[in-house]
Amino acid sequence: MKGKITIVGLGPGNKSMMTQEVVNVIDNATDIIGYSTYIKRIKPSKNLNLYSSDNRDEPQRAKDAINLALEGKNVVVISSGDPGVFAMASVVFETIDNGPDLWHEIDIVVLPGVTAMLAAAARVGAPLGHDFCAINLSNNLKPWHLIEKRIRLSIECDFVIALYNPRSKSRPNEFRKTLDILRETCDDNRYILFAKSVFSDEENINIIQLKNAKEDMADMQTLVIIGSSLSKVIIRNKQDFFYTPRVSI
């Protein structure tokens, strides 16, 4: 089998946050496929074929990548952040797993990237400095009762909680219900980070206490980090720092 799939993470908004390996792979690519918003981050060139696709149809995008590989192409699949965290890598492997046996032997390389929670955390300090979890708040592929169970048990764990895809126009309710759970289970001075489009020109950072948090502070460009009971804020003249101490007794 001649073709190959390389699934890469572009990191957060800024090109300087890509790994050197990902930059090399993109610079030498002949065929790149991805969601149109991410394809726009790739510089077009004469010998480069760009395949832009709709965000909603990730399984079709995975099939397109597989077909290009079966044709002998060395195809690069791009995601923002890290491709293994709520992104294209698991879609590709799921599609291959459910496909014919021949597909199982396709060469696939995954190149990691800086996922959104690491980028958001870095912009304010070290809120992920102690045990944490990452929950995708979209209920497109799982029922709300499972999301609710995970949030409640994560609070019981006293995890720091990173919420991916917290809220969209078509899904306005999950984040509102999450805030309701927090108000029921946490002190109202619990800190929450709303980090929008980090490392890009549209970056917007807010560290808010639960009592002041509002549902419309989150959208699809926002990564939310809910501090643990021990997370602290250092008040400063400049942007405050937000961190979670390593010690918990």
Rule CB under 8 A: which of 111-150 touch a copy of itself?
111-115, 118-119, 121-123, 125-136, 141-143, 146, 149-150
Q: Which is nearer to a copy of itself, 49 or 107 (CB)?
A: 107
- Residue 97 or 216 with smaller CB distance to a copy of itself: 97
Query: Which of 61, 69, 76, 82: binder of a copy of itself (CB under 8 A)?
Result: 82
Residues 204-223 that bind a copy of itself (CB under 8 A): none
- 23 is a site residue for a copy of itself (CB under 8 A): yes
Closest separation between CB of residue 218 and a copy of itself, Å?
A: 18
Helix (H) or strand (E) holding 126: strand 125-126
Site for a copy of itself in 1-20 (CB under 8 A): 11-12, 14-20
**Residue 15 vs 214, nearer CB to a copy of itself:** 15
- Return the sign of the alpha-carbon dihedral for residues 221, 225, 226, 232: negative
**Min separation Cβ 37 and a copy of itself, Å:** 19
Torsion sign over Cα 85, 121, 131, 176: negative
Residue 178 as a binder of a copy of itself (CB under 8 A): the answer is: no
- Classify residue 34 as exposed, middle or buried by CB count within 10 Å of its CB (0-12, 13-18, 19+): buried
Among 35, 38, 159, 194, the residue binding a copy of itself under the rule CB under 8 A is 159
Q: How far is the CB of 170 from a copy of itself (least distance, A)?
A: 18
Q: Which of 150, 110, 91 is nearest to 5 (CA)?
A: 110
Query: Considering only residues 57, 71, 94, 187, which one is a binding residue for a copy of itself as defined by CB under 8 A?
Result: 94
Closest distance of CB 87 from a copy of itself, Å: 8
Exposure string over 61-83, b if 16+ CB within 10 A, otherwise e: bbbbbbebbeeebbbbbbbbbbb
Q: What angle do CA 93, 199, 212 make, to 5 degrees?
A: 100
How many chain residues are in contact with a copy of itself, going by CB under 8 A? 77
Antiparallel, parallel or unpaired: β 74-79 and 4-9: parallel
Which residue type occupies 91?
A: V
| Non-local CB neighbours of 205 within 8 Å, separated by 6+ positions | 123, 124, 193, 194, 195, 196, 198, 239
